[in-house]
Amino acid sequence: MDKLFHIESGKEVAFHNNATYCVGTGRMGLALHKEYQEQLKMVQEEIGFSHIRGHGLFCDDMAIYQEYKDAEGNIVSEYKFTYLDRVMDDYLSLNIRPFLELGFMPEKLASGDQTVFYWKGNVTPPVSYERWAALVQETLRHLIKRYGEAEVTGWPIEVWNEPNLKGFWKDADMKEYFKLYEYTANAIKAVNKNFKVGGPAICGVDDEVWMTEFLEFVKSSQAPLDFVTRHHYTIHPPEREGHYEYARLGDPDAGLKELNTTRKIVDSFPEFQGMHIHITEFNTAYIPDSPLHDTNRNAAYIAYLLSKLGEDNESYSYWTFGDVFEERGVPYTPFHGGFGLVANGLVPKPTFWTFKFFRELQGKCVCRERELVVVQKQDKYCGVAWNLNYDNTGEILNITCELPAGDEEYCLVQKIVDEKHCNPLKVWHDLGEPANPGTAQLKLLRESAQPLVTTQRLKGSAGTVAVALELQQNAVVYFEIFEAPVSSDRGYDYNKVMNSLDISVE
């Protein structure tokens, strides 16, 4: 397939790119693991997300909530912030700040014993809303004392996670969640009015009803609300085989239409019109053992989503940055279909590079098409193109992008991620799918997980320079083009150097 895009001088196209505002993480307690920190360091050095969001702030492995009975038999709450400080210190040292999700329920504060995940996060309401509110407030006050008011009040706060699912909130009780939200939001604002708080953090089950009812509740109760949150996944129900679930991708435009419906619901309330919507989780599959996550197809699909998600949403947080993640237990192999951008063993997956490439798309957008985004910076053009192929037809996509240019000479740089280049999953398979790769195998996997870099010289003509891109199946390609006049050292002739290679030596 061949496609030609001609970009006119002075043209500007709407493109809200907030791909690196936030990224997801496994439960907060996992941040105490060495490899978790190593993976996050890699992600921050290469991509640089601004915020990080995950479950488990108040779960018992973080040990924040404690209580005892006094001499009269009254329950007295106390708080231990030892682990919280370690995690927050590490986050800030990597220049990433929390998007705080408040949950799950500490066992001693829970009204029931229903839990979720291998690590048993309690999903029941608090036995005492007053003690829950105090827990939230004391945690925020501690963070302010340690890191400063200006710093901490800039951290967004989300109340709970997916309360519209029975697995995440007992009975998916809407009224009980609204009670939790109101108590929590008011408690937060009582600590400092500058905190930004939001919800309802729902996924795509009865989402229209939940969003409408939530906004009606906030309107009538006057509970604080600074932003709206929801989640977005894009697969059909998967098929289970052994440890894995195999999923078929859904139509991305159908999913985006669902998000647009949320935007319309929010805007239908005069009080909330234009309010920011944060997608605090998104990915293709919603399960942590879906091999789809490890593929180049996932990378190309996510590239298309990143080109579109900013149309209705302020931000969209990829779930998750790394595979130190244990919802269904400790993973069996490095390529187990985990959510992460980085496989265990510090191997970047193809989707890692999708985010790295979109990080560079800051500037004036001059082209946004179904398979291409181009931005103009002060001294160059940068672009990302992708060839999403659902059916493994192997069809190649040839894109020619005609950019405004003078008659100067230019350098075109390409970084190519496709199934032939930068496909560590294939290399792992060819190695025999080792569950615990050795040092040499991990080194090879990391080497195979790097984009192919190519360069070439081009010359402008008749006011344009033509950038030709060949995209293999499920490729994601970054390119940049800039003026690069040759300024050779005295006596140096590159063409003579290369031509001399053809001269035989007698």
Predicted local confidence at residue 9, as pLDDT = 85
What CATH number has the domain bearing residue 402?
2.60.40.1500
Examine the domain organization and report whether 132 and 182 are in the same domain: yes
Domain boundary among the residues 296, 327, 359 is at 359
Examine the domain organization and report whether 355 and 372 are in the same domain: no
**Beta strand 364-369 pairing with 372-376:** antiparallel
List all residues 6 or more positions away from 241 whose beta carbon is below 8 Å from its beta carbon: none
Strand order in the sheet with 397-404: 2-6, 397-404, 464-471
Q: Side-chain half-sphere of 348: how many Cα atoms within 13 Å?
A: 23
Residue 282 lies in a domain: yes
Examine the domain organization and report whether 74 and 190 are in the same domain: yes
Examine the domain organization and report whether 31 and 61 are in the same domain: yes
Residue 325 lies in a domain: yes
DSSP element (H, E) containing 479: strand 476-483
Examine the domain organization and report whether 121 and 33 are in the same domain: yes
Note whether 80 and 52 are within 8 A (CB).
no
Examine the domain organization and report whether 279 and 179 are in the same domain: yes
Residue 16 lies in a domain: no
Examine the domain organization and report whether 208 and 191 are in the same domain: yes
pTM: 0.95
Mean pLDDT per 10-residue section of the chain, whose length is 506 residues: 91 95 96 97 98 97 94 92 98 98 97 96 97 98 98 98 97 98 98 98 95 98 98 94 93 96 98 98 96 97 98 97 94 96 97 98 96 95 95 92 93 97 98 97 98 96 94 97 92 88 56
Residue 266 lies in a domain: yes
How far apart are alpha carbons 82 and 88 in whole angstroms? 10
Predicted local confidence at residue 166, as pLDDT = 97
Catalytic site residue 72? no
Question: Where do runs of H (alpha helix) occur along 149-292?
Answer: 149-152, 174-191, 207-221, 252-267
Dihedral sign for Cα atoms in the order 18, 21, 24, 25: positive
Q: Single out the catalytic residue among 101, 162, 371, 419.
A: 162
How far apart are alpha carbons 232 and 315 in whole angstroms? 12
Note whether 282 and 309 are within 8 A (CB).
yes
Residue 500 lies in a domain: no
Number of structural domains found in the chain: 2
Nearest to 22 by CA among 313, 323, 449: 313
List all residues 6 or more positions away from 425 whose beta carbon is below 8 Å from its beta carbon: 294, 295, 335, 349
Domain boundary among the residues 359, 393, 411 is at 359
Examine the domain organization and report whether 380 and 349 are in the same domain: no
Domain boundary among the residues 339, 359, 379 is at 359
Predicted local confidence at residue 330, as pLDDT = 92
Query: Whole domain around residue 462: which residue ranges?
Result: 2-11+364-483
Examine the domain organization and report whether 7 and 42 are in the same domain: no
Residue 498 lies in a domain: no
Note whether 250 and 234 are within 8 A (CB).
yes
Note whether 327 and 288 are within 8 A (CB).
yes
Examine the domain organization and report whether 329 and 462 are in the same domain: no
Predicted local confidence at residue 506, as pLDDT = 55
Examine the domain organization and report whether 311 and 451 are in the same domain: no
Predicted local confidence at residue 343, as pLDDT = 97
Distances (CA, A) of 418 to 349, 388, 389, 448, 471: 11, 11, 11, 11, 8
What CATH number has the domain bearing residue 79?
3.20.20.80
Examine the domain organization and report whether 51 and 88 are in the same domain: yes
